[in-house]
Structure 1
Amino acid sequence: MTEKHQLQDNFSSLSQKKLEQETRVKDLTAEKKTVTGSLDSLSQKNQELEGKVRSLSDKLKKGTCEGAKLGSSDKLYISEGEKSWSDSRQYCRDRGGDLVIINTEEKQRFISSFIKHSVWIGLSDRENEGELKWVDNSELKQR
């Protein structure tokens, strides 16, 4: 009789654990469905962003990036081949511009988002060694 009670207790305990596991499976299934939906959404956004990056890269390879707006009328130009800082600045000036001045975090993030190699920016200490100034003569402001 004692053995029968023990078996019944074990059965009840296992039945309770089974119910708990079934509930856990239902919860995990619902969570998986939510995560899968989020993953699909992120994958779609990733594809859109990759398309934009490809488009910008194609424009950069052609030497201009008119779609990459830094300000109301800013354009980025990328030259073919390596150039010195002075030659790069002249390249920009020949096109009516100058080397880029990075004066906001937003501009820094924007440029960093698609530039994958070394580039010259409009910052130098050519006039006074150790005193960095932008090409518009403004001083470098460090945070």
Structure 2
Amino acid sequence: MTILTIVRKVTLWRAGTLVVATAATLIAVTSANAAGDAARGATLYRDCGVCHSIQENGPGPAHKGVFGRLAGKAPGYDYSSELKNSNIVWTEENLDKWLAGPEKLVPGTKMFYEVDDPRDRADIIAFLKEKAK
């Protein structure tokens, strides 16, 4: 094996390492962004506030304790029978599906408002995760 061959192999190995490191960095940054921005979510939640609050039921149920709760089971709110019987547990994934299209997730539900933008949904969910404990 010549020195030139060794240099080429080392160069290719280093290039491959650089590509893997760059990909890992991009994945980490994307995952961090996917987690959502709770501060921005607080601003977006104002639109939700027409029907919801963290502490009190209104036209929509209160969001206090929403994470990990069975859908349609919070006390003091008259949920649709469809939501009561859905057996959905509110996780980040299920809240994202819900906000993207409540009627698609649970046909016959009372909620009609949709959040089309995935970033907006992630931010609202981050806000709820932080404030609705």
TM bracket (short chain): 0.3 to 0.5
Larger Rg: 1
Structure with a larger share of its residues in strand: 1
TM-score of the pair, normalised by structure 2: 0.36
Which structure has the higher relative contact order (CA within 8 Å, separation 6+)?
2
